[in-house]
Amino acid sequence: MRGTKDLTVGKERKLILQFAIPMLIGSLFQQLYNVVDSIIVGNYLGKEELAAVGISFPIIFMLVSLLIGLTIGLSVIISQYFGAKDYKKVREAVDTIYISLFFASIVLTALGLIFSRDIMELLKVPPDVIDYSVLYFNIFTGGLVFLFGFNATNAILRGMGDTKTPLVFLIISTLLNIFLDIFFITVMGWGIEAVAIATVVSQFVAFFLAALYLNKKHPLIRISFVNLVFNRTIFRQSLKIGIPSGLQQSFVALGIVALIRIVNDFGTDAMAAFTITSRIDAFAAMPAMIFASALSSFVGQNIGAGKLQRIRVGFRETTLMTTMVALFISVVFIVFREPLVMAFNTDPMVVEIGSSYLFIVGFFYVIFANMFVGMAVMRGAGDAITPMFITLVALWIGRVPLSYILSRDHGTDGIWWGIPLAWCIGFGLALFFYIRGRWKRKAITKIETPLPDNEIIA
């Protein structure tokens, strides 16, 4: 089948790297958009608008987290059925994901539009920022159906080993987004609404083009709005994986929202700095998350094919690659922390607070990367409960309370220290549960050559 890739045969490092590189390039384009977007907003509009974008994003992420989890669950199912060569089930899973996400996106859009200002007031968004936040949030939420359609298509393709096709449409979306941002703000003279409108338009165009392409070139995952098959069994299986994954995403989003609530106590400068460093931080997180996603698909196909020994090698190789990349990023971000922040906004207080963040957090990117790699094995095998538990503990027993407590005596630096300390907790738990090995029994498809529960795969 066009574009798909069998990850159950061949050299593990080469396969994972080949699978990850298109996603990595795509994510670079996504982050490039986020950076250009923030640079334009921070320099042409102001730090208030920049803070508004930073406040709105995690709230949007919180709203869509459960649906992201459903997408993850169905992607794992597709990966395992594809590894088992059960293409009929793959087709039914594709139909199920589109039906589910379409109706869910309509409900979330309505809820977001109704409660947007209430949410911002609950978070005590500064008065000079709240109107910008509500406007951006409402426009972005109105385009959720295109966001879900586009991301669902990408997740389906990745589940079958195709990361090149999503890359093409992601690049189109990103470049169009950047162009529209620049045009709307610098030429048309629009305000913060330009950023949200540009995002919605670019997602619609990318999804429309992807639908046209898939209907002509990819018979297995052809997008059609008639004769769709909703498979209740697959849907229940996806919920079994997706709800824990979605809750994990929700915990992450809620953790960021809680952190924003703490940061807001220190004013607009702190919030603007946090928005900037979140954009920069995303570059550090991106390789770890991409390699983890590649490993998850690798694990899904190999556990579906009953080739558990290959998972051991894949885990080791992925750990090595992510560690090397994380070390490089740490050095760059620590050494060039001030110029990086100043590219977004030159306000002295914003630069000082943001530079401090990068200096504190930058030393711990290796811990973050390996935490994600450990959880990727469990998720690819179909064990979504354990990563959810790890995230819950790291965020709500680690990051949020530590950031709050430390901020009382150390200001914003105390908030920043809570982040890597939580990563250390999460990494320790991920390593423990990976070595324990119970994830080996979570496969949806039957494993023909099972390993005993007490065998360590490391």
pLDDT at 452: 36
pLDDT tens by residue, the chain, 458 residues = 455 556 667 787 888 888 788 778 877 777 777 777 778 887 788 778 888 887 787 777 777 776 777 777 777 777 777 767 777 777 777 777 778 878 888 888 898 889 889 888 887 788 888 888 899 899 988 888 888 888 777 777 766 666 677 778 888 888 898 899 889 988 888 888 888 899 899 989 988 887 777 777 766 666 666 677 777 887 777 777 777 767 767 777 788 888 888 998 888 889 889 988 988 888 888 888 888 888 887 887 787 777 777 888 888 889 999 999 999 999 999 999 999 999 888 889 999 999 999 999 999 999 999 999 988 888 888 777 888 889 889 988 899 999 999 999 899 999 999 999 999 999 999 999 888 877 776 655 544 433 333 333 32
* pTM value > 0.85: no
CB-neighbour burial class of residue 117 (10 A; exposed 0-12, middle 13-18, buried 19+):
middle
pLDDT at 445: 53
pLDDT at 451: 37
User: 231, 284, 251, 258: which is closest to 384 by C-alpha?
Assistant: 251
Q: Cβ(93)–Cβ(78) under 8 Å?
A: yes
* Cα dihedral across residues 440, 156, 373, 356: positive or negative: negative
- Cα distance from N-terminal residue to C-terminal residue, the chain: 33
